[in-house]
Amino acid sequence: MSSTSQNLTGKVALVTGSSRGIGAAIARKLAKDGANVIVNYVSNEKAAAEVLNELNGIRTKSAVAIKADVSTFEGVKKFSAEALKAFGKVDILVLNAGILQNKVLSEVSEEDYDLVFNANVKGPLFLTQMLAPHLPEGGRVIFFSSTLAHFSSVPTNTLLYCGSKGAIEQFTRVLAKDFGPRQITVNCIAPGPIDTDMFRKDKPEQLIKFFENLHPQKRLGQPDEVSGIVALLAGPGGSWINGQTVKVNGGYSV
Ligand code: NAP
């Protein structure tokens, strides 16, 4: 274990959207720190299988992959039941799956609203509701927002995305109080631009360069630069951090 490692031996972590990007990096980090991991994906079976192989290479039978659309109530219901069966419990719930859509107010349709809010708000809310009764003392809930929800130069086409992340940050505050008496912490991570498929989609190289230059380090963050804080919050070292949104952005926004 490296110096930033937490001892997660005996813990079971569920990470939504962990076939790629930040979720896959979190799955790897939590597995390296000793947790058994439930990987989740919606369509990319090949990517999920690669992550699963990697995790089972760290320790045999330490991971399973479950296909489930966590933007629907039915998908969440099926997923929570299968997840509880996989290792008999869930200690650490990481609500990472999310989608980004770029539209200004005049372009937004009811379908757009449902798409973004179902994936970014409804899914995390009901998955947490279904698994909450099963979380043990010392359990952890970790939501995902974005630095964009705090950024002064926020682009106007991130209306629905920022609105959905605002809701997640408020869930974090309220649920931290709700779950506190059971010694369960609830926190949220708000990354800045991280080099994943979500970030690169539809962006010309020039725009990516522009974002790189907004960082003091003149580069994008990498998924494994987000996973360390998730492991910290998930482990014993995170026991007194509760109800917080932690910006992980290399100083992109200060
Ligand atoms: P990504 O590269 O687009 O990866 C998305 C992951 O979520 C994939 O594993 C995908 O599965 C899964 N997924 C998407 N919709 C799903 C659904 N309905 N049900 C189950 N799984 C689903 O995303 P990312 O960049 O890693 O972002 C992860 C989180 O960080 C998101 O909440 C995002 O808003 C937040 N964030 C990202 C950035 C950034 O710059 N990347 C910045 C701030 C915040 P498949 O492989 O099957 O498609």
| Conformational region of residue 218, where left means phi above 0, alpha means psi within -120 to 50, and beta covers everything else | left
Tens digit of pLDDT for each residue in 186-215?
999 999 999 999 999 999 999 999 999 999
* 3-class secondary structure, 180: helix
Report the alpha-carbon distance of residue 245 to residue 190 in Å, rounded.
6
Q: Is the CB of 156 under 6 A from ligand 1?
A: no
- Is-catalytic flag, 165? yes
In a domain, 182, yes or no: yes
To the nearest 10°, the Cα dihedral for 145, 20, 38, 57? -140
Q: Is the CB of 21 under 6 A from ligand 1?
A: yes
In a domain, 7, yes or no: no
Q: Is the CB of 98 under 6 A from ligand 1?
A: yes
Q: Is the alpha carbon torsion for 205, 210, 211, 212 positive or negative?
A: positive
Ligand 1 centre to CA of 181 (Å) is 31
Catalytic residue among 19, 71, 80, 145: 145
Q: Write the CATH number for 120.
A: 3.40.50.720
Q: Is the CB of 221 under 6 A from ligand 1?
A: no
Report the alpha-carbon distance of residue 230 to residue 241 in Å, rounded.
12
Report the alpha-carbon distance of residue 158 to residue 190 in Å, rounded.
15
pLDDT above 70 for 51: yes
Task: For residue 72, give the ligand 1 atom closest to its CA.
Answer: 18
Based on the structure, what is the number of domains in the chain?
A: 1
Whether the CB-CB separation of 141 and 189 falls below 8 Å is answered with no
Whether the CB-CB separation of 25 and 94 falls below 8 Å is answered with no
Whether the CB-CB separation of 187 and 145 falls below 8 Å is answered with no
Which of the four pLDDT bands, split at 50, 70 and 90, describes residue 44?
A: very high
For the chain, where are the alpha helices, taking DSSP H only?
Answer: 21-32, 45-58, 73-87, 110-117, 123-131, 159-179, 197-200, 205-213, 227-234
In a domain, 142, yes or no: yes
Q: Among candidates 37, 131, 16, 120, which has minimal Cα distance to 77?
A: 131
In a domain, 2, yes or no: no
Report the alpha-carbon distance of residue 184 to residue 2 in Å, rounded.
25
Residue of 22, 151, 154, 248 to test ligand 1 pocket, by largest number of atoms within 8 Å of CB = 22
Domain extent for 119: 12-248
Catalytic residue among 11, 29, 122, 165: 165
DSSP 181-225: GGT-EEEEEEE--BSSHHHHTT--HHHHHHHHHTSTTSS-B-GGG
Q: Is the CB of 194 under 6 A from ligand 1?
A: yes
Whether the CB-CB separation of 154 and 162 falls below 8 Å is answered with yes
Tens digit of pLDDT for each residue in 147-186?
999 999 999 999 999 999 999 999 999 999 999 999 999 9
Q: What is the DSSP letter of 121?
A: I
pLDDT at 6: 74
In a domain, 254, yes or no: no
Tens digit of pLDDT for each residue in 7-16?
999 999 999 9
Tens digit of pLDDT for each residue in 19-31?
999 999 999 999 9
Q: Is the CB of 34 under 6 A from ligand 1?
A: no
Residue of 14, 20, 73 to test ligand 1 pocket, by largest number of atoms within 8 Å of CB = 20
Report the alpha-carbon distance of residue 149 to residue 115 in Å, rounded.
19
pLDDT above 70 for 1: no
Ligand 1 centre to CA of 62 (Å) is 23
Q: What percent of the chain has pLDDT above 90?
A: 98
Report the alpha-carbon distance of residue 13 to residue 63 in Å, rounded.
9
Tens digit of pLDDT for each residue in 108-117?
999 999 999 9
Ligand 1 centre to CA of 98 (Å) is 5
Task: For residue 99, give the ligand 1 atom closest to its CA.
Answer: 34
Residue with CA nearest ligand 1 atom 46: 44
Catalytic residue among 71, 122, 161, 227: 161
